[in-house]
């Protein structure tokens, strides 16, 4: 009997299953843009019950716009939707042989739909974390076509000017990370952030006082862009062309192809740029009663090509491998002319001449970046990240200097120089983050950095109808630095309050060698870099953050290399192979206030620096020689304020103010360098959205004068203006800008001593730029007219 009952039950189950199979309906079709006829990938297709309106099944369209879904009932309706388009609803379907072929379905663009989403969506907010400020990106700035650069420009403390230069607290040199790690796409120099759209970004972390997890080497700060897990798929990119005066011509292509498993990105570009540099100097010898005045203009003309290719490969939902590579090639031409006039004690010209330079160079560059990340299943913030990076830069340069007498005696000889420079850098890094529970997070990791440099520099003088090598100015400089680091941090964070402690240990092994004279410098030292951060949220409108970190500045190659260009052999800058690292203790207290349409950040900071590196000038026979030296200590205390005010939907004001008072104490070769002073800078940017999708940006700057150990530097104002026109919701952009509108960005330096008086003046000239860009896919056109040098 049991066997009969079991057999009957199986027959009934098979009958029901067979009936369900026979009643399964397949619905298919293709979704396209009604205006362009282009397929719309990743549109949402939902099958719902006609009576209950509950969802039965759904799917997303493929890259060619096609879709296929199934339903076990015929009493249904279909909804097709995509951001920026009117939703299409279909009912009363014609079913033949359990199939519904809808053919081509055209969606109509509707900007009103997008505007409604922006109004009711979550607004962007800024909040404090333990060692950073976090800008949560809301839908008020997440519209189709808005790039990551636009998002960054809305973050308090951050400014992106019309040319795409990113500044943090008014300082450039910002390090940009993507999901906590370096990336070619996050490279500010490449302008690739235009291919990352706002709706891909979850939050942006602003780090002005880095914790022990980051390099102890001092930087202006860190911006970490965190992408959403559900990034937009498909092909995104931009093509751009620029022209300008002085010569600034370039073309470029950026693309980003994203699928479920792969993210493939590439950049191709090339162009020609010229960098004119005007200078004037006056050297007064008060002992010999002579004055040497020099004026001149130099150019750095550069023909460049570059290519970048990279991919993210998702092994599975927890493991990702990223590999990127970049190659660039530059051809340089550096003509210059310097005019000299030597005046005696009665202000009569005793001699005048000019010195012309012809320099040619080729610069090959390449880099690679291999990354592996593992996300553990228990928590998305439980991560293991390994990163290996390598880069190479070479320079093969030759120069010839000729002197022509205009009046009086000839004091100079013609000269030739040859430079063969090679630099290889390698970085290996491992980071581990473990959220132990809801309130405790532990981090640990290590890094190994290798810098290997060789500079073969030769100077020849023309004498007796032949070129003779000058042994005093010829040598091979070898620079090898290795830094081994390890760190650990622990954080405790509740809803309103948290604290984070950390320590970083770095061992530096530096060896420099002048091979021809066998002069070497060996430095091996180990340092501890503690960090402490805390934050407290007083209310939704007021938050506080405090931080401490110890930092290091290691002398760079050109601070150590004693051999420089001899373009002007009466105003010489040289390096110092015996220079030591300087150390800083940084203290900071920051507050953030949200006042309606305004956001204000205020910070009080104190910086104490030892082994302070300063450039010190000596003078003899009308020649000034400047060399970096470790000169005493510096105590700087300051106030930094920045704010944004949304005056209207079409008008935004963004301002920064930074002031600090410094006290210097130091002595070198029985000469006191004690002094104190203050310096300040300010910036005010007005951004206006005008009718017909025009945007106007006016930025005013002022940098005050200040003192150095020997000199007084004058202040300077400047104004930048930019305007751009967006067409087809930002897919096509025409952009124009004027940098330093009044040609007032001038640097003047005065050094006055009992035996001499030195004056120098320099500026880079006003620049004009015009650019056009076109963005495709979900990427916006690159709205900034000029990328900077690689």
DSSP letter at 190? G
What digits encode the pLDDT tens for the residues 78-121? 888 876 677 888 888 888 888 888 888 888 876 443 333 333 33
Q: Where are the beta strands (DSSP E) in 108-218?
A: 125-128, 133-136, 158-160, 166-168, 175-178, 201-207
What digits encode the pLDDT tens for the residues 666-701? 887 777 888 899 988 888 988 888 888 888 889 898
pLDDT of residue 202 exceeding 50, the answer is: yes
Taking the C-alpha atoms of residue 378 and residue 363, their distance in angstroms, rounded to an integer, is 48
Around Cβ 694, how many Cβ atoms within 10 Å?
13
State the pLDDT at residue 128: 64
Token output for 132: 């950073």
pLDDT of residue 176 exceeding 60, the answer is: yes
Whether residue 35 contacts residue 109, with contact meaning beta carbons closer than 8 Å, is answered with yes
Listed residue (715, 780, 589) closest to 199, CA to CA: 780
The residue count of the chain comes to 790
Whether residue 628 contacts residue 606, with contact meaning beta carbons closer than 8 Å, is answered with no
Lowest mean pLDDT among 114-128, 147-161, 195-209, 493-507: 114-128
What digits encode the pLDDT tens for the residues 474-494? 989 999 999 999 999 999 988
Q: Which residue in the block uniquely carries the two structure tokens 């100079």?
A: 412
- CATH second-level architecture of 236-776? Beta Barrel (2.40)
Mean pLDDT in residue range 395-417: 88
Are both 22-109 and 236-776 of the same fold?
no
Listed residue (309, 364, 519, 554) closest to 449, CA to CA: 554
Taking the C-alpha atoms of residue 492 and residue 128, their distance in angstroms, rounded to an integer, is 14
- Percentage, residues of the chain above pLDDT 70: 83
Listed residue (162, 568, 556) closest to 337, CA to CA: 568
Lowest mean pLDDT among 3-7, 712-716, 751-755: 3-7
pLDDT of residue 144 exceeding 60, the answer is: no
Residue 528 burial (CB < 10 Å; 0-12/13-18/19+)?
A: exposed
pLDDT of residue 229 exceeding 70, the answer is: no
Q: pLDDT band at 164, cuts 50/70/90?
A: low
Whether cis (ω within 30° of 0) applies to the bond prior to 390 is: no
Please list the residues that pair with 260 across neighbouring strands. Answer: none
Q: Where are the beta strands (DSSP E) in 464-541?
A: 466-469, 475-493, 497-514, 519-537
Which H or E run contains 6? helix 2-23
The DSSP string of 304-367 is EEEEEEEEEEESSSSEEEEEEEEEEEEEEE--EEEEEEEE-TTS-EEEEEEEEEEEEEEEEEEE
Phi, psi of 631 (to 5 degrees): -125, 90
pLDDT of residue 712 exceeding 90, the answer is: yes
Between the ranges 35-44, 114-123, 583-592, where is the mean pLDDT highest? 583-592
Token output for 110: 């509707």
**Does pTM surpass 0.75?**
no
Taking the C-alpha atoms of residue 526 and residue 403, their distance in angstroms, rounded to an integer, is 50
Structure-model confidence comparison of residues 714 and 138, the more confident one: 714
Lowest mean pLDDT among 84-98, 145-159, 739-753: 145-159
Residue 726 burial (CB < 10 Å; 0-12/13-18/19+)?
A: buried
What digits encode the pLDDT tens for the residues 599-645? 888 989 888 989 988 888 888 878 888 888 998 898 989 898 888 88
DSSP letter at 575? -
Q: pLDDT band at 18, cuts 50/70/90?
A: very low
**Residue 272 to residues 226, 248, 397: CA-CA distances in angstroms?**
34, 6, 19
Q: pLDDT band at 59, cuts 50/70/90?
A: confident
For 25, the 3-state DSSP assignment is strand
State the pLDDT at residue 111: 44
State the pLDDT at residue 411: 67
pLDDT of residue 359 exceeding 90, the answer is: yes
Whether residue 627 contacts residue 669, with contact meaning beta carbons closer than 8 Å, is answered with no
State the pLDDT at residue 596: 78
pLDDT of residue 188 exceeding 50, the answer is: no
Taking the C-alpha atoms of residue 246 and residue 244, their distance in angstroms, rounded to an integer, is 6
- Please state which of the four CATH numbers 2.170.130.10, 3.10.580.10, 3.40.50.300, 1.20.58.60 is assigned to the domain occupying 112-234: 2.170.130.10
pLDDT of residue 170 exceeding 50, the answer is: yes
Whether residue 133 contacts residue 545, with contact meaning beta carbons closer than 8 Å, is answered with yes
State the pLDDT at residue 233: 57
State the pLDDT at residue 110: 61
Mean pLDDT in residue range 446-465: 91
Phi, psi of 190 (to 5 degrees): -80, -10
The domain covering 22-109 belongs, at the CATH homologous superfamily level, to Immunoglobulins (2.60.40.10)
Listed residue (474, 479, 368, 467) closest to 423, CA to CA: 479
Residue 500 burial (CB < 10 Å; 0-12/13-18/19+)?
A: buried
pLDDT of residue 219 exceeding 80, the answer is: no
Q: Which residue in the block uniquely carries the two structure tokens 């800058």?
A: 573
Taking the C-alpha atoms of residue 169 and residue 683, their distance in angstroms, rounded to an integer, is 10
State the pLDDT at residue 428: 95
Average pLDDT of the residues of the chain? 81
Around Cβ 224, how many Cβ atoms within 10 Å?
19
Whether residue 148 contacts residue 165, with contact meaning beta carbons closer than 8 Å, is answered with no
State the pLDDT at residue 500: 93
Listed residue (301, 302, 435, 408) closest to 351, CA to CA: 408
pLDDT of residue 199 exceeding 90, the answer is: no
Token output for 317: 């939902």
State the pLDDT at residue 360: 95
Token output for 708: 């150095």
pLDDT of residue 544 exceeding 80, the answer is: yes
Which H or E run contains 120? helix 111-120
The domain spans of the chain are 22-109, 112-234, 236-776
**Residue 352 to residues 73, 288, 409: CA-CA distances in angstroms?**
97, 18, 8
Token output for 789: 């040098």
State the pLDDT at residue 728: 79
State the pLDDT at residue 622: 80
Q: Which residue in the block uniquely carries the two structure tokens 């120069």?
A: 399
Please list the residues that pair with 682 across neighbouring strands. Answer: 657, 702
pLDDT of residue 541 exceeding 90, the answer is: no
- Percentage, residues of the chain above pLDDT 90: 27
What digits encode the pLDDT tens for the residues 306-338? 888 888 888 887 898 989 888 889 999 999 999
DSSP letter at 52? T
pLDDT of residue 154 exceeding 80, the answer is: no
For 297, the 3-state DSSP assignment is strand
Token output for 732: 């096509």
What digits encode the pLDDT tens for the residues 250-291? 898 878 777 767 778 787 888 998 889 899 999 999 988 999
State the pLDDT at residue 84: 62
For 193, the 3-state DSSP assignment is helix
State the pLDDT at residue 127: 65
pLDDT of residue 394 exceeding 60, the answer is: yes
* End-to-end C-alpha distance for the chain, whole angstroms: 85
Q: pLDDT band at 339, cuts 50/70/90?
A: very high
Instruction: Quote the radius of gyration of the chain (alpha carbons, Å).
Output: 32
pLDDT of residue 524 exceeding 50, the answer is: yes
How much of the chain is in helix, strand and coil states, percent to nearest 5? Answer: 10, 65, 30
Whether residue 246 contacts residue 767, with contact meaning beta carbons closer than 8 Å, is answered with yes
């Amino acid at each position: 009997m049991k066997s009969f009952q079991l057999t009957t039950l199986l027959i009934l189950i098979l009958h029901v299953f067979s009936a369900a199979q026979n009643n399964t309906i397949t619905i298919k079709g293709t979704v396209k843009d009604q205006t362009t006829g282009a397929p719309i990938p990743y549109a949402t297709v939902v099958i719902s019950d006609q009576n209950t309106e509950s969802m039965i099944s759904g799917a997303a369209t493929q890259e060619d716009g096609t879709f296929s879904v199934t339903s076990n009932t015929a009493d249904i309706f279909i909804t097709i939707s995509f951001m920026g388009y009117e939703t299409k609803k279909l009912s009363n379907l014609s079913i033949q042989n359990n199939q519904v072929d809808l053919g081509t379905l055209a969606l109509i663009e509707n900007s009103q739909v997008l505007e409604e989403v922006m109004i009711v969506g979550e607004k962007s907010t800024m909040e404090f974390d333990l060692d950073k400020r976090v800008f949560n990106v809301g839908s008020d700035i997440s519209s189709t076509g808005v790039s990551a650069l636009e998002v960054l420009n809305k973050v308090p403390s951050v400014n992106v000017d019309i040319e795409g230069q990113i500044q943090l607290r008014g300082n450039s040199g910002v390090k940009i990370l993507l999901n906590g790690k370096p990336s070619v796409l996050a490279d500010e120099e490449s302008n690739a952030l235009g291919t990352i759209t706002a709706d891909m970004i979850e939050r942006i972390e602003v780090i002005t006082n880095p914790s022990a997890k980051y390099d102890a080497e001092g930087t202006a700060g860190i911006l970490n862009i965190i992408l959403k897990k559900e990034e937009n798929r498909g092909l995104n990119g931009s093509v751009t062309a620029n022209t300008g005066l002085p010569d600034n011509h370039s073309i470029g292509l950026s693309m980003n192809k994203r699928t479920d498993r792969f993210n493939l990105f590439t950049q191709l570009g090339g162009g020609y740029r010229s960098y004119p540099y005007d200078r004037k100097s006056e050297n007064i010898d008060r002992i010999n009663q002579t004055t040497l005045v020099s004026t001149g203009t130099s150019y750095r003309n550069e023909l460049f090509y570059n290519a970048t290719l990279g991919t993210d490969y998702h092994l599975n939902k927890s493991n990702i491998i990223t590999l990127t590579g970049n190659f660039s090639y530059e051809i340089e031409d550096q003509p210059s002319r310097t005019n000299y006039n030597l005046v005696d004690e009665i202000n009569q010209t005793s001699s005048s001449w000019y010195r012309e330079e012809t320099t040619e160079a080729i610069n090959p560059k390449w880099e690679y970046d291999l990354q592996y990340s593992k996300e553990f299943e228990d928590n998305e913030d439980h991560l293991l990240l390994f990163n290996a990076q390598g880069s190479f830069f070479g320079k093969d340069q030759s120069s010839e200097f000729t002197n022509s007498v205009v009046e009086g005696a000839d004091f100079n000889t013609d000269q030739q120089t040859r430079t063969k420079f090679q630099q290889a850098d390698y970085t290996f890094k491992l980071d581990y983050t473990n959220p132990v529970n809801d309130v405790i997070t532990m981090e640990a990791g290590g890094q190994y950095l290798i810098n290997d440099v060789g500079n073969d520099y030769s100077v020849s003088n023309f004498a007796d109808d032949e070129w003779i090598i000058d042994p005093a100015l010829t040598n091979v400089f070898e620079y090898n630095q290795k830094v081994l680091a390890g760190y650990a941090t622990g954080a405790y964070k509740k809803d309103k309050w948290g604290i984070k402690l950390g320590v970083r240990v770095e061992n530096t092994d530096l060896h420099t060698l002048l091979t021809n004279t066998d002069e070497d410098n060996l430095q091996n030292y180990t340092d501890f870099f503690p960090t402490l951060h805390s934050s407290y949220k007083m209310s939704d409108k007021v938050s506080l953050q405090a931080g401490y970190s110890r930092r290091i500045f290691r002398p760079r190659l050109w601070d150590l290399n004693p051999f420089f260009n001899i373009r002007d052999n009466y105003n010489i800058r040289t390096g110092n192979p015996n220079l030591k690292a300087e150390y800083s203790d940084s203290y900071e207290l920051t507050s953030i206030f949200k006042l309606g349409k305004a956001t204000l950040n205020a910070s009080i900071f104190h910086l104490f620096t030892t082994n302070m590196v300063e450039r010190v000038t000596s003078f003899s026979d009308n020649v000034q020689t400047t060399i970096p030296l470790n000169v005493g200590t510096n105590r700087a205390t300051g106030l930094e304020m920045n704010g944004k005010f949304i005056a209207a939907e079409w008008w935004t004001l963004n301002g920064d103010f930074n002031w600090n008072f410094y006290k210097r104490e130091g002595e070198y070769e029985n000469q006191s360098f004690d002094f104190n002073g203050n310096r300040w800078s300010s910036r005010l940017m007005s951004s206006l959205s005008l009718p017909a999708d025009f945007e106007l940006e006016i930025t005013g700057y002022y940098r005050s004068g200040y003192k150095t150990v020997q000199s007084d530097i004058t202040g300077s104002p400047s104004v930048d203006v930019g305007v751009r026109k967006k067409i087809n919701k930002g897919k096509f952009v025409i952009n124009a800008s004027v940098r330093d509108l009044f040609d007032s960005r001038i640097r003047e330096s005065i050094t006055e001593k009992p035996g001499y008086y030195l004056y120098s003046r320099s500026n880079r000239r006003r620049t004009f730029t015009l650019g056009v860009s076109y963005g495709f896919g979900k990427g916006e056109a690159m709205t900034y007219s000029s990328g900077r040098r690689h």
